[in-house]
Amino acid sequence: MLNKPVEQWLSEYGESHQNPVNKQIHWVCVPVILWSVLALLWPLGYSTLPWLNAATILIAISILFYARLSWTLTLGMGVIAALSVALILFYQSLALSLPLWAFAMIVFVLAWIGQFVGHKIEGKKPSFFEDIQFLLIGPAWLMSFVYRKFGIPLSR
């Protein structure tokens, strides 16, 4: 249910992320998965409007999801989205022989393998098996640790 308060979402997500090794794996794999999903979606758009693509639509939907939970979290996730787009554009500017979609697919698969290894160590299944919305909570859960470290509230 979307109407849960942000702290309840984070607490429920945290229940299956107690093991320190699993947490460390998530600090690497969750941002990589987020970036790779956006990179995979980036080419799916309109050639006349290069910034209107499946990735920017997903970003907009995600920002609306976060805005219902916490304005400060929305700002942080907006920064993460902007950095992800910048990394996508940087990768494209390198004009490497490995296309963006291929690189993104490789890191996506490797990061998910890491996630499942982490959950095997944890002994609990990933939260999104309960509720698909937890796929959006994972990055916010990490951001909440950064916010707590700097005393930034997760207010509505």
Establish how many alpha carbons lie within 13 A of residue 93's alpha carbon, considering only the half-sphere containing its beta carbon: 6
Q: 45 - beta bridge partners?
A: 53
Q: Name residues of the chain where pLDDT drops below 70.
A: 1-2, 156
Cα dihedral sign, 40-44-45-46: positive
Q: What is the pLDDT of residue 70?
A: 93
Q: What is the pLDDT of residue 48?
A: 80
Distance CA(69)–CA(6), nearest Å, equals 5
Q: What is the pLDDT of residue 47?
A: 72
Model pTM?
0.92
Q: What is the pLDDT of residue 46?
A: 73
